[in-house]
Amino acid sequence: MDDVKRIKIEAIHLDQDDPRKCTAKKLERAGLIRCRSRISSSPKKGILLNPLGGTVLSPSDKDLVIAGSLVALDCSWKRIVESVRIINKTTRLKSRALPVLLAGNPVSWGRRGRLSTVEALSATLFILGLKKEAAQILRPFKFGSQFMTLNMKPLEAYSECKTKEEVEDMQWNFFDPMPA
């Protein structure tokens, strides 16, 4: 798993979920990421995975991660709006939302966009062309292969896009748009 360690991956861990189901903490115990409980101590350069962010992640964002960090927000889906509002005020990271994907984790299996922290990190790495690292970060989780099976076709397609606009359009080749 040394390949994953060459990319700086962190999570802002807000301690809002069941610690036994927390994928960020499990990744930290495995030495694959670093969790930070204080938002102010988060990296200054890179990408913040923000499910409410307006800009969709694309392969063109790879340089932001290589030059900075990949940071996930680990919080409860029930408190996502409040958590994102606080983080947006205190960080200079570039917010990116993932295109539509299905959760493979046991808590939200099959739900659109309700990814666990490890699923979001893996999907990001895959889309950025770091496919080996995307697979490696999922290894500690029984549901990791299920997540990849559910999403392999869209992930491959997203990783071949050049711009965020292409990714935004591509997701509707796999998923129906949500009603307004």
For residue range 80-131, list pLDDT tens digits in order.
666 666 666 667 788 899 999 999 999 889 999 889 999 999 999 999 999 9
How many other C-beta atoms can be found within 10 angstroms of the C-beta atom of residue 163? Answer: 12
The whole-model pTM stands at 0.88
Beta bridge partners of 70: 9, 47
Residue with tokens 């299920």: 146
Beta bridge partners of 36: 12
Virtual torsion, Cα 147, 91, 13, 69, nearest 10 deg: 50
For residue range 149-168, list pLDDT tens digits in order.
999 999 999 999 999 999 99
For residue range 63-84, list pLDDT tens digits in order.
999 989 999 988 766 666 666 6
For residue range 8-35, list pLDDT tens digits in order.
999 887 766 666 778 989 999 999 999 8
